[in-house]
Structure 1
């Protein structure tokens, strides 16, 4: 099947939904499962299509936990020549973000994943994508949005943060583009948490203008 997609469809990347239960299973799967997943990753390597886009966060499927991004750390270490694109930046969901952040100061799943990445500074093949996550947070929880951007840029680097809008769900992406152009991390958060300011250069990096 992957051979056909590569030869006939000329795909540039693969998309994986670890929360979705494969046929015959009642739960999802993990990217670092050597028995279940590594054959697929090895095939991607053999086909020389190294980009693996993974739905993480914004849970789907019968068991929520399989949408957590923690499995990407081992997978990225075991396949350093592949690139793992973490769709939605691993955000658990916007609905719970306010409550969890108010009590713990953390963003569900994303903060934890950023800490895991910072503990593995040698990993350079994981990228954080902003589709849906930015659009949902910037309109409902702008302070949490600022923390999320600050944390993922700190952990992964602005050159490893990818712009995305999921505009298939929200219509024209222009409003999200304009919102990001105007968005700033407040100075008090930069001072307290040592976040990187969202300069024009950083935003252009995330928009892909420096690719």
Structure 2
């Protein structure tokens, strides 16, 4: 299939592009990121020639991925974006062993945000189904464990039903007899029937609840600390599933925009210390590069940190910051990526920053994994920002 789709090897193995997960308008690459792609393409041609193999063969190899990341470093340095880099030995662009060593890892990779569209939704969307999901996540990447999540929808128009999610979980378990896929229960408390339906979802052994505070059937969202949010949290506690995953950031539009901001997280985390709040996307807003923590900013990742600190929620407590789409988007800008990861680790806690890929909206997450494995915040940034 790869040969049919890309016979000449024109696709870079590590993707910097304007792709969206569908929740935000695509943001074009800036000049520096475009130059990074151009340099990576040129280096791929040159390195394939030096190794005496086709471009396609080179792109599919570990050296192809390493060559791409090293080219990104060169382009970023030229643009004075040196807050972080992809740390690889320069020989990895040509030496297969060096590339494999640099890109490999023994860590347990737990991706806490994955998606696909159920079969009854395929005709309307043209997006991937469960077969594609299993292929991309469990066969074509180093992912060890995944959480299958949900997108907001009316009850009668769900693009993924809990029955399909459960069936996919059973297929994954049958692959090697292990529990590698967890599932969410979708619950938006401002929609009639969702709170009442949580008990049925709990019977499927859901690991957490997924809600979107900017979404509502009438276009109006909610805050977690208001009446609707409180009903959700109290029902989760009563059912004994005390993990609430909440979409913050990646605003859909300006409608009910205030509900997309993570200003309510610290309030409910303090009020309910026995409930874990997993903040999907960490409040990041595409098109707004992140800088050092600024408590006066009032949105983005800074709003999450401010809310937690103003309410006295300790580091490594019951607030978790998730990186789905946030990491992939910021692979284009190592300064912004370094600030996001650095300030989340500093203020939310080194044990409470969660990797998520938001795939299969972006295909296989393998390129995100390889980039994340090799990324390091610069010594200069660490010394300056702590």
Out of 187, 191, 202, the position equivalent to 1:6 is 202
Decide whether the 8 Å contact of 1:59 with 1:92 is kept in 2: yes
What are the residue-to-residue correspondences of 1:32-71 with 2, within 5 Å? Answer: 32-33=225-226, 35-60=227-252, 62-71=255-264
Q: Aligned residue for 1:185?
A: 377
Are 1:81 and 2:294 an aligned pair?
A: no
**Cα separation, 1, equivalents of 2:213 and 2:309:** 23
- Displacement of 1:167: 1.3
- Displacement of 1:181: 0.7
- Displacement of 1:131: 0.5
Are 1:165 and 2:361 an aligned pair?
A: no
Out of 15, 24, 34, the position equivalent to 2:210 is 15
**Cα separation, 2, equivalents of 1:75 and 1:121:** 10
- Displacement of 1:114: 1.6
Matched residue count: 185
**Cα separation, 2, equivalents of 1:186 and 1:5:** 45
> TM-score under structure 2 normalisation?
0.45
Residues 151-200 of structure 1 show CA distances to partners (whole Å, capped at 9, x for unaligned) of 00001111001110001211111101110111010111111011xxxxxx
Q: Aligned residue for 1:204?
A: none
Residues 113-152 of structure 1 show CA distances to partners (whole Å, capped at 9, x for unaligned) of 22332342437100000110001101x2111100100000
**Cα separation, 2, equivalents of 1:108 and 1:38:** 22
Structure 1: any 5+ residue segments left out of the alignment? 195-211
Greater relative CO, 1 or 2 (CA 8 Å, sep 6+): 2
Q: Aligned residue for 2:122?
A: none
Decide whether the 8 Å contact of 1:32 with 1:71 is kept in 2: yes
Decide whether the 8 Å contact of 1:97 with 1:108 is kept in 2: no
Change (3 A) 1:45 1:6: same
> TM-score under structure 1 normalisation?
0.81
**Cα separation, 1, equivalents of 2:313 and 2:258:** 25
**Cα separation, 1, equivalents of 2:233 and 2:261:** 19
* Greater fraction helix: 1
Change (3 A) 1:173 1:26: closer
**Cα separation, 1, equivalents of 2:357 and 2:221:** 25
**Cα separation, 2, equivalents of 1:15 and 1:58:** 15
Are 1:92 and 2:92 an aligned pair?
A: no
Q: Aligned residue for 1:144?
A: 336
Out of 307, 312, 335, the position equivalent to 1:116 is 307
**Cα separation, 2, equivalents of 1:109 and 1:27:** 20
Residues 71-125 of structure 1 show CA distances to partners (whole Å, capped at 9, x for unaligned) of 11111111111100000011122x1227xx59x8979520232233234243710
Are 1:125 and 2:318 an aligned pair?
A: yes
Q: Aligned residue for 1:156?
A: 348
Decide whether the 8 Å contact of 1:70 with 1:113 is kept in 2: yes
Query: Runs ≥4 in structure 1, deviation > 6 angstroms?
Result: 104-107
SS in 1 for 2:340: helix
Decide whether the 8 Å contact of 1:68 with 1:92 is kept in 2: no
